[in-house]
Structure 1
Amino acid sequence: MSDETPICSAKGCRTAAVWVLAWNNPKIHAPERRKTWLACEEHREHLAQFLGLRGFLKDVVAFEEWQARES
């Protein structure tokens, strides 16, 4: 990962991300594949609901924990 501050994936948001929302679209991705969206505190619930309603949301993890897993 780069040293740049991660930014929330919500449209128009420039706030630092503190959450990783891991998701997968089963129609186009292999079951083990995980795409990620980043979220600030304010947008975490909204983004999780968006993915959850579609059956895509697999996990919500603190950014620091996700980064540690990836190391």
Structure 2
Amino acid sequence: MIEELVLKGWHVKLLSDHTQPEPCWRCWLSWRKGPLPHKEESCRQPTLDAALTWCETTAKEWKWE
């Protein structure tokens, strides 16, 4: 799914974060294509699967495909 988002113009960034007591994944999702305004959102998720799900869900909520 991440490849599909990138091919449609989404910018996706996932980083493992070990600076917290509980390791997590930091996620950023942004849209910068065409006449639509720039939008960016980020979060922390406990697992990589949760991070990928968050990216998919957020992209669908924005409906900027």
Higher relative contact order (CA 8 A, sep 6+): 1
Higher share in strand: 2
Q: TM-score when scaled to structure 2? A: 0.37
Q: TM-score when scaled to structure 1? A: 0.35
